[in-house]
Structure formats: C-alpha cells, structure tokens
Chains A and B, each alone.
Chain A
Amino acid sequence: NAGVTQTPKFQVLKTGQSMTLQCAQDMNHNSMYWYRQDPGMGLRLIYYSASEGTTDKGEVPNGYNVSRLNKREFSLRLESAAPSQTSVYFCASSEFGGNSPLHFGNGTRLTVT
C-alpha cells in the first residue's frame, strides 16, 4: 500500500501564479486534511473534508481552495500565490475524523518568489 501520496514533492512559483497540490490515499479513509508547516509554527490546518462531499475551513484557509474529488482524492489550490504561502504542505487522511490516527503524506515543499 502506498498510503497517502502527494504530488509534486517540490515546486517553485512566482507571485501571482496558480497551482494545485494533489493528494490521494488508498486506505479507504473517510476524512482528509491539508496542513501547512512553517518553522516554529507547528502544523496549521488549512482545510479538511470530514467525508466525501464535504469540506470545511481550518485555522488558516485564506488564499486557498480545496476539492474533494472523490473518496480517494483531496486537492489544494492556490489561485494567486503569495510569498507568505511559502511552506511545506502536508496532506493527511484518517478513517473516522478526529478520533482516528492521521496518516500523513511526504509533503510538498513550495517556494513562492
């Protein structure tokens, strides 16, 4: 099993460009999450999807959009990238929301110049 797969691993964008981070899980999990990790800030929740067909804002949703394409896939879109969005982005999934362990992908390191 691959677990949680994120693409791409690295990306450099110019300010104002757009991109979509892809995430897929093969564990038949119901819930999926996007976190960003910045030095000294821990992991901050951007958006989550408790189940297929639903999405909710987390702690830092501004500047991002998400799509729960199906049960397996949860994408994160930056419509107009800003330097403040330079970060490491982690996708995670869990079987039953916050009562189950989160399984993380390997992360996407994004730099916005």
Chain B
Amino acid sequence: GQQVMQIPQYQHVQEGEDFTTYCNSSTTLSNIQWYKQRPGGHPVFLIQLVKSGEVKKQKRLTFQFGEAKKNSSLHITATQTTDVGTYFCAGRQAGTALIFGKGTTLSVSS
C-alpha cells in the first residue's frame, strides 16, 4: 500500500538556525499537503503542492515538490520559538485518501 516516509523524526535547533524536514513516497503522488501540530493541539493545514517541481513560500517557510512527485521538503529559515511543533506531510495517490507521514518534531532553544 501507499507509504509516506518522513525524516528526521526529531530535530533540535538553536533559535536562528535553519530546519528542514523531508518527505518521501514509494509511489507518485497527485498532491502533497503539509500540516503543523503544536504540542497538545490538532494538526493545522499549512500548504498544498500539486505540480511537479513546485516551490511555494510562506514567510520563512519554503515548500518544494519533487520533479517526480515522489518527494517533498519543508525548509524553515532562521527558526523562532514559535516554530516549535510537529510537522506532517500527507500525500495522496489518485483516487485515494490522504496518507500522513509520521511527522518531524521540532524543538527550538533560545
């Protein structure tokens, strides 16, 4: 079945350092979505990527979708303490429901 792998599982950075999480699928995806979950909270939608090679930016966050539509990444520039949480990617094959990766938990020390 469809699998979405995400690495690393945990990442600790000093405030101001950059952070990247990677998402890989065993199959070609129709689209990929990214979510953020704060400790004790629920996942909140960040962005969706649909096109091969697509790059989208939201302030300090940069999202990429691979050319083969099998991988994606989220890069945060100059992390802040407000970036703390777990970041999930979720991919979908055509005609199926979204499958989530296991997430990357980011901690930031000031």
User: Which residues of B lie under 8 Å from residue A59 when comparing CB positions?
Assistant: 1, 99
Contact among B6, B88, B97 for A98, CB-based, below 8 A: B97
Smallest Cβ distance from B73 to chain A, in angstroms?
A: 17
User: Which residues of B lie under 8 Å from residue A105 when comparing CB positions?
Assistant: 42
Task: Indicate with 1 or 0, residue by residue over A78-113, a CB within 8 angstroms of chain B CB atoms.
Answer: 000000000000100000011101111111000000
Contact among B9, B35, B48, B100 for A40, CB-based, below 8 A: B9
Interface set, chain B 26-55, CB cutoff 8 A to A: 30-31, 33, 35, 41-45, 48
Contact among A40, A45, A104, A107 for B97, CB-based, below 8 A: A45
A44–B97 contact, CB under 8 A?
no
User: Which residues of A lie under 8 Å from residue B97 when comparing CB positions?
Assistant: 33, 45, 48, 50, 56, 58, 97-98
| B102 at the A interface (CB under 8 A) | yes
| B103 at the A interface (CB under 8 A) | yes
The chain A residue with its CB closest to the CB of B96 is: A98
Distance A76 CA – B4 CA, assembled complex (angstroms): 25
How many B residues have CB within 8 A of the partner chain? 24
Q: Is the interface of A mostly helix, strand, loop or mixed?
A: mixed
| A35 at the B interface (CB under 8 A) | yes
A102–B33 contact, CB under 8 A?
yes
Given A90-B43, A102-B33, also A42-B88 (CB < 8 A) = yes
Smallest Cβ distance from A24 to chain B, in angstroms?
A: 15
Chain B contact residues, CB within 8 Å of chain A? 1, 6, 9, 30-31, 33, 35, 41-45, 48, 88, 90, 92, 96-103
Contacts A98-B31, A101-B48 aside, 12 further interface pairs with beta carbons under 8 A come to A41-B102, A42-B100, A58-B97, A59-B1, A59-B99, A98-B98, A102-B35, A102-B43, A102-B45, A104-B44, A106-B41, A107-B42
The 7 closest A-B pairs by CB, nearest first: A42-B102, A101-B45, A98-B92, A43-B100, A104-B42, A48-B97, A98-B98
